Structure 1
């Protein structure tokens, strides 16, 4: 298998992995609900692992370019790493259940405001829309710009090193649209039970973290060039 086909398969991996998991639903519902998709299930921990890995790779790259005095590149990588680590921490509620932490012991305000009594921000009213930032990133930077431009024609020169490769676009498309069946069923059909049971929101987060990891690995591979910013 040549390199181009490998990248194509990697780009489609978020969708393919999700479809594989969905196939388990009618075959072994207990595994799907009790092991794969519940709180602290396989999907949740994979999401955190992928996001943590993306963050730590980006931190390493940030220090690499910092030492080379490429400050703009390093700063963007550190910001990207912070976002990935924040995603991972939020996904596992910053280790709340791992370390048996009670929310009220950390913050009475958080215990009152968090609707799931978890040690995170995305379940607080007002912060819940933070997911829109991920959607905006996918739609603008992951789909629209790579579709509209080539890397050498993109007008913002200092962002060219972070241009999304074409093979990764399917992963961003999957992240955006994977929850649409549930939204359509809620809007038109007053919720279709089996669609809602698939927990598509969890798979959306998984796809996003996997895309972030693949992008970080792409940046790591690009480090072989003399400089990310020519």
Structure 2
């Protein structure tokens, strides 16, 4: 029996198979939230590492949006393509591509380039992305509109026959209604923000929502017929597996990025010593324990104007670029950080300054300096204090050739 001859009260095989695949998609997205909760509750160190830049979570988010964009390109380029008919999938393609590139700061950490001064000054993350220079309330509102507007309200409205015909005529593609729980769960987490760094998990969940919505849309345009759910389930689980493997591979690859110039490490050590002098000079005001910020953000937020005229700033007279001096950037054009840990569980209050080092990613945890991160301790003690062996130069003139 052809699909066109199936009685109206019987669901076509493709639709039945698609429902199974979409149910699995909901479970996979819920599993992301459950994983976040379990790691936060029982493995906080692993949780902390996972939510850092260039780890598997961020890269998986990138690949989820890239995958969704690629599928929407397939949908847009279907036979009989016209810009008028395909404007919405093209818009979704551009949206997914934009979000993916924003997620990795348009390759800033990957290639180690210095962003334009505007982003150094007005983006407190000092990264080349647009979403962090938008006012916080507007940014949160845009996320709400995407999740609840596109992911929940639009498919619900599409259940009304007249509305479904209207959005079909103007070319709008609504997510499959069965994916509403996935978008809804993502939105609930975004609104409740149950634990620190929830935003990183929300981005991953939203990327997965778009990926599975794109797969569901592509299924509608597929000429393949299925008598069982197996092909569609395979595509859904396969897409999830590919995203995770690509995320893992990308995180592994970026962890091995190194600068070819060892002088950068020496320069970073010297510059951290200058920052150490600034912070211990007595000119930086008292502050509460328990914070972790880029030094530029710390300076701006706490009004510590002395740091703009301290020992680190004066390195500009010895060859340090003015932009690096003004925005507290390391030789790899990424931010210097300050971390202060309150006394807890028998550990004393600890404060240290650090750089991500040659691989331009944070390897350390709260109480450990790991990987190739470069640090100087101001107060207390840090475990496994692994810093490259080259000692900092004793003569400030040695820093005159600090690379930019």
- Output one character per residue of 1:124-181: Cα deviation in whole Å (capped at 9) or x when no partner: 1437734432321321232123334426432333257613212110111022111333
Q: Which residue of 2 aligns with 1:71?
A: 83
Aligned residue among 179, 182, 192 for 1:171: 182
Deviation string, structure 1 residues 44-72 (Cα, Å, up to 9, x no partner): 1111110111112212322235xx14433
Tell whether 2:95 aligns with 1:83: yes
Is contact 1:121–1:127 with CA below 8 Å preserved after alignment? no
**Would you say 1:145 and 2:159 are equivalent positions?**
no
Unmatched segments (≥5 aa) in structure 2: 1-15, 224-404
Structure in which a larger fraction of residues adopt helix? 1
Partner secondary structure for residue 102 of structure 2: helix
Q: Counterpart of 1:8?
A: 23
Other-structure match for 1:101:
113
In terms of fraction of residues, the more strand-rich structure is 2
Structure scoring higher RCO (CA < 8 A, sep ≥ 6) equals 1
Aligned partners of 1:156 and 1:19: how far apart in 2? 35
Report if the CA contact (8 A) 2:151-2:180 is conserved.
yes
Measure, in 2, the Cα distance between the counterparts of 1:136 and 1:32. 28
- The normalised TM-score by structure 1 is 0.79
Task: Quote the residue 1:186 is aligned against.
Answer: none
Number of aligned positions between the proteins: 205
Equivalent position SS for 2:186: helix
Question: Which residue of 146, 157, 169 maps to 1:158?
Answer: 169
Are the aligned partners of 2:152 and 2:184 in contact in 1 as well (CA < 8 Å)?
yes
Equivalent-residue separation in structure 2 for 1:137 and 1:49 (angstroms) = 19
Contact kept? 1:54, 1:81, Cα under 8 Å: yes
How far did 1:210 drift? 0.8
| Alpha-carbon contact 2:22-2:216 (below 8 Å) kept | no
Taking the aligned partners of 2:122 and 2:24, their CA distance within structure 1 comes to: 42
Q: TM-score, normalised by structure 2?
A: 0.47
1:40 is matched with: 54
Q: Which has the larger radius of gyration?
A: 2
Give the Å deviation of 1:207.
Answer: 1.1
| Aligned residue number for residue 21 of structure 1 | 36
Is the 2:88–2:171 contact (alpha carbons within 8 Å) kept by the matching residues of 1?
no
Gaps of at least 5 residues in structure 1 are 183-194, 226-230
Two-structure CA RMSD over aligned residues (Å): 2.3
Quote the residue 1:223 is aligned against. Answer: 221
